[in-house]
């Protein structure tokens, strides 16, 4: 565990949910409101008025040459907020390889160099003003928004950077792809998020890829009876056969992580509601996707979120709530000079 300077109380999080049936757990709205104190739209309007413009320019330039960055930044933001809150602790390096980014769930994160590029550009304009936590929040929004050439949601700013990053906390706090619905629901409820957020933010899986080793247990010998063709019955049979063909290496070595598959077939670079169409057709890649259909309330939301307008409208609200988790504001934390290291 790496500890330097100040810590801070923070939260967790990850994927999240939708509209119409608004299920908020007791006290959750109060938690979110308390955590959001100090955040506001246009926080840098006076102290660094070009900050968001600079961040968007750098991110859009990079995403234009590498569209896969949108999924990478969105996932990075989820994983940052889920462990210690949205404090950029996922960006910190550790000489002993014990920071969050060294934990198994984070080994496939990418795009750190672009975050540093944004930070350097903003520092040249306004030294010591804009936090890495806010830069990551902006990068997630701007990368996903690039295909639409407009901002899909407003980002509240005013976060400060944490000084603690632990691989063990990441292992403990990031839900696994095998998480069941009750487990996911309990995790999000504890952090001020509800069932609605769980379903909506799961829609982030409309972009990006999944490693075969994270879901191959659904494809081969599912019941443990030594039958290689034994698949998870909750999977669409034709989709299961497709995945088996893509992940054949994992029949011999379940831990092989060299093969990846698009999480949203036919739409893996487009941020849209297609994930929910596939999910309803029993084409959710991970157990944590498929499990959304095991709860009546969540399944009803899946149906409604197949509408692109409904999905985008609710996503902007859920990711705003996610971005409020465990934030450091005011005199807490620091403004790092570089995003991968605490200030000396």
How many angstroms separate the CA atoms of 132 and 6, rounded?
16
- Annotated binding-site residue? 87: yes
Whole-angstrom CA distances from 195 to 199, 200, 300, 310, 320 are: 6, 9, 11, 16, 15
Whole-angstrom CA distances from 334 to 12, 43, 49, 246 are: 20, 16, 20, 45
- Please enumerate in sequence order all residues whose Cβ is within 8 A of that of 241, keeping only pairs 6 or more positions apart, or say none: none
- Annotated binding-site residue? 80: yes
- Annotated binding-site residue? 237: no
- Annotated binding-site residue? 85: yes
79 belongs to the catalytic site: yes
Q: Which of 154, 148, 144 is nearest to 204 (CA)?
A: 144
**Terminal Cα distance for the chain, rounded:** 18
E strands, 164-227, where?
164-165, 209-211
- Annotated binding-site residue? 233: no
274 and 267 Cβ atoms separated by less than 8 Å:
yes
Active-site position among 79, 211, 274, 314? 79
- Annotated binding-site residue? 167: no
How many angstroms separate the CA atoms of 8 and 164, rounded?
9
- Annotated binding-site residue? 68: no
Read off the DSSP letter of residue 235.
S
- Annotated binding-site residue? 289: no
- Annotated binding-site residue? 264: yes
- Please enumerate in sequence order all residues whose Cβ is within 8 A of that of 202, keeping only pairs 6 or more positions apart, or say none: 15, 16, 17, 275, 288, 289, 292
- Residue numbering of the annotated binding site for Ca(2+): 80, 83, 85, 87, 89, 100, 206, 264, 272
Return binding residues for heme b: 205
Q: Where in the sequence numbering do the catalytic residues fall? A: 79
Binding site feature residues: 80, 83, 85, 87, 89, 100, 175, 205-206, 264, 272
Residues that constitute the known binding site for substrate: 175
């Amino acid at each position: 565990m790496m500890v330097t300077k100040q810590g801070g109380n923070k939260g967790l999080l990850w994927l999240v949910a939708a509209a119409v049936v608004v299920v908020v757990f007791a006290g959750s709205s109060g938690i979110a409101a308390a955590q959001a104190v100090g955040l506001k739209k246009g926080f840098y309007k006076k102290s660094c008025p070009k900050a968001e413009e600079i961040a968007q320019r750098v991110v859009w330039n990079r995403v234009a040459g590498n569209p896969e960055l949108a999924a990478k930044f969105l996932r990075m933001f989820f994983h940052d907020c889920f462990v210690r809150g949205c404090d950029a602790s996922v960006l910190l390096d550790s000489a002993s390889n014990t920071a969050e980014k060294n934990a198994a769930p984070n080994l496939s994160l990418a795009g750190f160099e672009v975050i540093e590029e944004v930070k350097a550009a903003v520092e040249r304009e306004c030294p010591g003003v804009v936090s890495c936590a806010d830069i990551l929040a902006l990068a997630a929004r701007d990368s996903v928004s690039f295909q639409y050439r407009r901002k899909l949601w407003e980002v509240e700013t005013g976060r400060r950077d944490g000084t603690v990053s632990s691989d063990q906390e990441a292992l403990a706090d990031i839900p696994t792809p095998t998480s069941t619905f009750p487990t996911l629901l309990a995790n999000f409820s504890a952090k001020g998020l509800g069932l609605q957020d769980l379903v909506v933010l799961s829609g982030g899986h409309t972009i990006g890829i999944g490693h075969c080793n994270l879901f191959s247990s659904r494809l081969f010998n599912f019941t443990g009876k030594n039958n290689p063709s034994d698949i998870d019955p909750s999977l669409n049979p034709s989709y299961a056969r497709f995945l088996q063909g893509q992940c054949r290496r994992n029949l011999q070595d379940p831990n092989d992580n060299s093969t990846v598959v698009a999480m949203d077939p036919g739409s893996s670079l487009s941020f849209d509601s297609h994930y929910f169409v596939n999910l309803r057709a029993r084409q959710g890649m991970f157990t944590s996707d498929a499990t959304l259909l095991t709860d009546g309330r969540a399944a009803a939301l899946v149906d409604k979120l197949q509408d692109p307008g409904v999905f985008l409208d609710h996503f902007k609200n859920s990711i705003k709530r996610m971005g409020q988790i465990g934030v450091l504001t005011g005199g807490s934390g620091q403004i790092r000079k570089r995003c991968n290291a605490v200030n000396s």
